[in-house]
Copies of this chain bind each other. A is one copy, B any other.
Amino acid sequence: MPLDELAHATPHPFDTAVRLTPEHEGATEGRWRGATSPAYANMIGPFGGTTAATLLNAACIHPARIGEPVALTVNFAGPIADGEFTVTARAVRTNRSTQHWSMELLQGDGVAATATAVFAVRRETWSATDAAFPQVPAADTLPRATGARVAFVRNYDLRFVRGAPVPRGEGGEREAPADSVTTLWLRDDPPRPLDAVSLAALCDVFFPRIFLRRPKFVPASTVSITTYFHADAALLAQQGTRHLLGTARALAFGNGYHDQTAELWSDDGVLLAASHQVVYYKE
């Protein structure tokens, strides 16, 4: 069997990570079971990108769903332990061409994450891009980053143009760069055709900007992420398994929270998504 057929014989690790099954036979529509995936483990708990993607997936697979995602907000309310969880998805309002969703991720007695999403049937209109596609060398001219210290990063092929994590010296200290910008090529590894669910996860691959900006390690984690989808399914399918170009930067850090904003572009310069998040940090 050729390698590419073999690759399709078992599910992609990302599809395993975001997989949802009905909670039990005859379960109310909109209640599913999922489970954290060791392949997408973060330092503590699962990679937030797969959590966001799982919550989006719950709306995508709901039989009442219309259209495609336009906006997704995920709030990380509490720690997610390794193992099973329940996801609920409720169509709060369905209009002629738009639909509003509320989702929750439940574990034990608590809500570990909440989310809202807007779906829409999109039609061709006037279009324009005001953001600028960064001037960068081609992905295949850059080395793939290695030495990931957390599992989920190994499922992404990352090629840094600028703003790579800086190795720390023996004392754990390093020189902090002058700004918080990271620009990189990124895609799933093994390669997986792009769709809205995987794009939702890719939007969270940019590590907290505080890691770049501070000369020492401080605990940090995403509290809330919002992604706007500029691409529809057809455009995402066109991108296939090629690298996306991503760029992210923080706007401000203070009193335990900073924000950051990211753009994800197709390799031929189409803005696929803009994503914003607020991150807790300790010192």
Q: Contact partner of A255 among B92, B93, B127, CB < 8 A? A: B127
Instruction: State how many copies of this chain the complex holds.
Output: 2
Q: Which of A71, A124, A129 has the most CB of B within 10 A?
A: A71
For A282, the closest partner residue in chain B by CB is B125
Flag the segment in A23-31, A148-156, A244-252 that touches B.
A244-252
Q: Are B128 and A252 in contact (CB under 8 A)?
A: yes
Shortest distance from the beta carbon of A126 to any chain B beta carbon, whole Å: 6
**Known A73-B224, A100-B114, A118-B75: A274·B251 in contact at CB below 8 Å:** yes
Q: Are B180 and A122 in contact (CB under 8 A)?
A: no
Flag the segment in A35-43, A139-147, A193-201, A225-233 that touches B.
A225-233
Q: Contact partner of A71 among B102, B179, B274, B278, CB < 8 A? A: B278
Contacts of A276 in B (CB 8 A): 226, 228, 261, 274, 276
Q: State the interface size on chain A (CB cutoff 8 A).
A: 63
DSSP class of A's interface residues: helix, strand, loop or mixed?
strand
**Known A128-B213, A128-B253: A71·B223 in contact at CB below 8 Å:** yes
Residues of A that sit less than 8 Å from B by CB = 70-71, 73, 75, 77-78, 92-93, 95, 98, 100, 102, 104, 110-112, 114-116, 118, 120, 122-131, 179-180, 209, 213-214, 218, 223-224, 226, 228, 230, 232, 249-257, 259, 261, 263, 271, 274, 276, 278, 280-283
